Structure 1
């Protein structure tokens, strides 16, 4: 059973189960989408791609220091509202 649509990048769950080795092989070069009930459910990517997508790209401090808002005079005032009553 071949991938269903989207230029050989999309599989049904049944098709992916039947050809799991092929899904893995193709995912080495192009992410493979697995659909359930006609809707995208998961994407299989190579370990290399996953590492690239999830690698930390600096610290929070570096992100804040590089912010385009750094140095602007934002007037941020904390709200001093009372806590709301919640039902028990």
Structure 2
């Protein structure tokens, strides 16, 4: 077990309780910014249907699914992450 991150069981319990009892779903429609939703095709922590709910709820959202990636694509596949979020065209500035 050397080198593995250990978590206090009480802390873990509180984190799980927070996940179960909290939602932002009722406030997402208020977002007015362009929003990029990135998800890995193989993500087992945040299921694909959840990202589609985000896409439908946030007005100016774009969803990109990274093929072959899991939940930790930002740290595991930095190049794929960089490519995916630099290819989004930014909206013209309002005057």
Decide: shared fold, TM above 0.5. no
TM-score (norm 2): 0.22
| Structure whose residues are more often helix by fraction | 2
TM-score (norm 1): 0.23
Higher relative CO (Cα under 8 Å, sequence separation at least 6) belongs to 2
